[in-house]
Structure 1
């Protein structure tokens, strides 16, 4: 099941409602699926009370407590919840619903019923909630509608009483007084400017009169009427001069011209006084106009101060009405969404995948357990191998042998996972294991015409290094090359050779021959390989008797030298036992067996020192139980790459 917030019928993208649910929301939904009410609904839907699978739970309960159907239903519901698991897939919005039951059909039915019943209950809950919200919204809208109407009426009434004409009493519209003050202020300013100009002209005229008479006044000088009168006077003066010269001062014509000039002067004076009086009148009129306008402006300003409080109150009423109107619109949107939600049957939860009837049980998961066991075993094995590789102090390369012991590597024998690797010489003579022994034969006997060693002893520094197996395999290799060979087991305390050869055990062996209880002929018996005889130890020998400290062992070797081409001795380990040191000096060549990667270098070095100090001829080292991918394989000194290429030369059959 997936919790899908986009399917929420009450979501609103603009307001952020229905955003992605938080982790706590998802966990809450998962917990809701484990409710007893949901489980009881599933029990009723599937009629689980009548199912034989749940009758055992009812029978195991006290019958007195389950006397009613509701009690039985609650008991079965509790059983359902005990086997129900609802979990969230990591940090996703997906919920996994799992139900465990011995009946696979019941398991699938209950899991599906839990999801379906949960969705149905959520749809019903949301529809019921949306319906109740719608009823509440309707009542609230009625109240808000009446409040909005009352607020709008109060704003309109107050605006009319206060003379507010704009939509905002404190904005560009304002009151009627505000609309009158602005142009009146401009008119007052213009009138004051005109009055100032008139006062200036009047003052200038008065100053000019006081200094030079009316003729000095600028307005007089600029008057067209006075200019015309002065032109006429000038013409009269010319006529007077002409008439006076022609007729004399007493002539009537001369007198007429004189009277004309006097009349023009009187007109000029009268016009000048009129101009000056006009300037005075203009200045007075301008002052009166300014005074009148200023009075009107002061009156309007006084009225504006009284109206400012009314304007502020009107703005408050208007904001209150706007807020109630916005609340009404928002409530109307929510009411519409709630009404739509009540009519839509959607849920935030959606079923992604229905549960199918399982084909097999989920517990116990045997394949999974086996796979996990295998993985754990591999990890443990790898860890063990890694730990052994890290903690191992053994030698691994030919260079280490040369540096630590000063002798060469004769051969590297691979590790074979079989009970008796020496039998590979018989069963698979062309294998890599057999070829490694032939390499050892070539290294010990030599490939040139020279006297090969007659008596060859195999020993090791410590037990369990493959010495006995290598001695047996080497003896079989010599016999396979048509060399008559005798294998003598000198490790009397272990006596392991009898378990490696295929011939039946005898009661006579090397110990009996050394003690004189049997002859050499009685002790030597043929082996299971042509050309190979063997003188073994019949049973382990533990005694303080020094079997090899006398001349008996030397006499045995001297007796068989003429009968056999090669004699192979299986000596006990050098460190901790003295027997091998006595016998090693009797051999023509001593081969030190070193277990690859296991035998400590110090132990091998100590064993080699003892052999050298005793006079033994240590011809080299043979690595045993070597990893086939190691560098010492495939010709000893070649890399892993070349060693791998040698595989084509060997036949595993």
Structure 2
């Protein structure tokens, strides 16, 4: 079995694209128009950006125990990003910007939102979410329209009525009043009133650089003014929340201090009273130095014990918060772990891991490997922190036990001193302790009042958002360019597929790639309808045409092909094809005509008895011919018909016999050919298609030249495989190809056409 390889000819491929350039242009133009249409009707998106300086207290720790009790958590860049994108700040900003009223109009076939430029205002109490159409009738009246609105019960609401501006419109479905504000610049508007505000664009908060404390807060919206207003409102809400938090912390601190002051001052009064009473009764003026030293030690130990108790209580609270796992990213370590860098570093790593997990959850699900890895890291860090805190607590317990034992030891020393001096010193120690705590609380109160009175946000707005002058999206030029490019690529692919799937022969190169038989002639396409060509012979009617010249070239090639030692012998030329409609008969007639013009006696024999058409070309009858001659019903001279053209005769098929194949293959056929050779110099046999019947296959071995007709854009490439099988089977060596019906205006044939050869 023979395998044919079809190599891609780049030059031929470019010729195909050139021939189908109109199709490529139309596909590209279609996609360009579609992308232009899409880009034009996409709403404009405007982006407003404000710059905010964030006050981060990195690594700050509390300086006193009271700040530890009242202090806030750590502040990080990730926390600030989450805060800016929080629902709380969005709601605060939305209170300053109108997101519930939407007014639309159409300009240049595109709907745009008017926002504050709307010429009317709608006050609504019922009918939220409906899309109303307002048509201006005149300066005082308008038409309100609702179409195909589905009610909750499944029925459809349609409404169309004319009202006056300022009139209360009340129906069972909606209640509203439309107030005219400025002159109308269009006739038709649309509006939708939402009950609850919701932002329509996207918010983003980004650092200007990795370690920068400046954030860019951006908001995208279809209305430039609303984008500017909401961006500035969000930036203000972010700054104000810092002030509110500071005020709230200062207020809570003052409340705590005042409660402690009241308690301490009451104890001071009681201590002073007890001390004065005891001194008056005991008449004590001074105490020995030993008692003072022991008492001072007891005071110091008890002060340290009080500090240990408070630190233990804060560790217990911290331990519970970590174990509970709520809001760990804002949990403070101030006053607890500042002396232990490992706990501070571990807590900071935990808070960063929690922020990282929150950012990952914005893009991935809980089952994503990166989220699972972050969750595992958080769990491990929490376990380390809990164990560290437990070790701190055990250490404090041991220290407390030592302090209690020391206090007991010093109290035992005091017990050995005189009772009056000992009791006096104890009262005096209690008074001093309360006085010291009172001084400390008064100092903290003054500081808290100063903070409350002069609260300034650590965050501040560097640059307010400006009104966007041009949209950032859609990028219409890019959309149109990409659409055009896609159209061009799809056009190329489409043409390539058409060419790849098209199995029809178009050029000589395609024939040469399949078989190696010589191409003896290329016949151009004949302009006009088939009926006109059935009634004329182009060689005689247009002798100077490119069509006639192509047959002169064919005649020359045939003379070279059948040149032998005895050139005076009659030449028998057989024309066949694979199927009907490939122009075999037309070529036979015109080939005979071009041969007769050289004054050679030429005859055309119509051997296609099933579909005889040869006689119609010469406008001669077909009552008798080859069929009768084969059956012996006529003499040769009676079967041959003379045409009006000199040196040219025809032998028509005659009446179709019962078995045309057997008649043609009979010995009588060879006798007729021998007889014709004595009378004519050129004998052209117009035979049936070899792909349909076998009539011509046996004759191909008996003739001088076999011409196989291939019609461009009609004959299939597989036909050539059939021809090659036939040639190999019959061992033929005198086969030539004629490529018929070529469009000389295309491809490399255009040279002959455009240069003006043989134009009439």
Shorter chain as denominator, the TM-score bin is 0.3 to 0.5
Higher relative contact order (CA 8 A, sep 6+): 2
Q: Greater share of strand residues, 1 or 2?
A: 2
Normalized against structure 2, the TM-score is what? 0.40
- In our comparison, the structure showing a higher alpha carbon Rg is 1
Normalized against structure 1, the TM-score is what? 0.45
